[in-house]
Amino acid sequence: MAEQTQFEELARQLSAVGAVKRDMGRILPPDCPAGSAAVLTLLGRHGDMRMSKLAELLAVDMSVTSRHVAHVAARGWIERHPDPADKRSRILRLTPAGLEQLDELSRRTTHLLAERLADWTDDEVAQLIRLMTRLRESFGDCRSTAFRLPVPVTAPVVEETTRTPAST
């Protein structure tokens, strides 16, 4: 078990890693935002699957998954086939165009990471991957354990729109 100071620092790093994600997002191809890229990546890695399975892998609500899938399907990168075993369900499958897009994604992210992590050793990258994977697993279990504590401070909210530099 780690100390409190460590947990605070980890929380800070988790918050700040968004900057890295945004940097990665900037080199994505047009019409292929991060959500679409994640759909293509997971389909390429795990093969054909249903919406519900994809939503689980994305770790987002199925309504969100539905939107991302509609986006990539509209661009011809995947196809939604009817599931013979369950007419409510749809099987997602990468198209040849989707595979090309996936290759392009791989090229760009690999290029960016190779540039940014030029001075990282193979082992360091492997360790980061391992620890991040473990982190996700540690959080993956109890996703519905959202609890709320009472608010500590009850101060009035004053939406100060204009600048008042020298007031008081």
For DNA, the binding residues (CB under 7 A) are: 18, 22, 33-36, 50-52, 55, 58, 60-70, 80, 83, 86-90, 161-163
Tell me how far apart the alpha carbons of residues 87 and 93 are, in angstroms, rounded to a whole number: 17
Q: State both tokens at 23.
A: 């940097």
Using CB under 8 A, count the residues that bind a second copy: 94
Q: Which residues of 140-152 are buried (b: 16+ CB within 10 A; e: fewer)?
A: eeeeeeeeeeeee
- Tell me the closest approach of the beta carbon of residue 122 to DNA, in angstroms: 29
Site for a second copy in 3-22 (CB under 8 A): 3-4, 6-21
Binds a second copy (CB under 8 A): choice among 54, 55, 68, 90: 90
Site for a second copy in 27-86 (CB under 8 A): 27, 29-31, 34, 37-38, 41, 45, 59-60, 70, 73-77, 80, 82
Scan for tokens 């770790």, then name that residue.
59
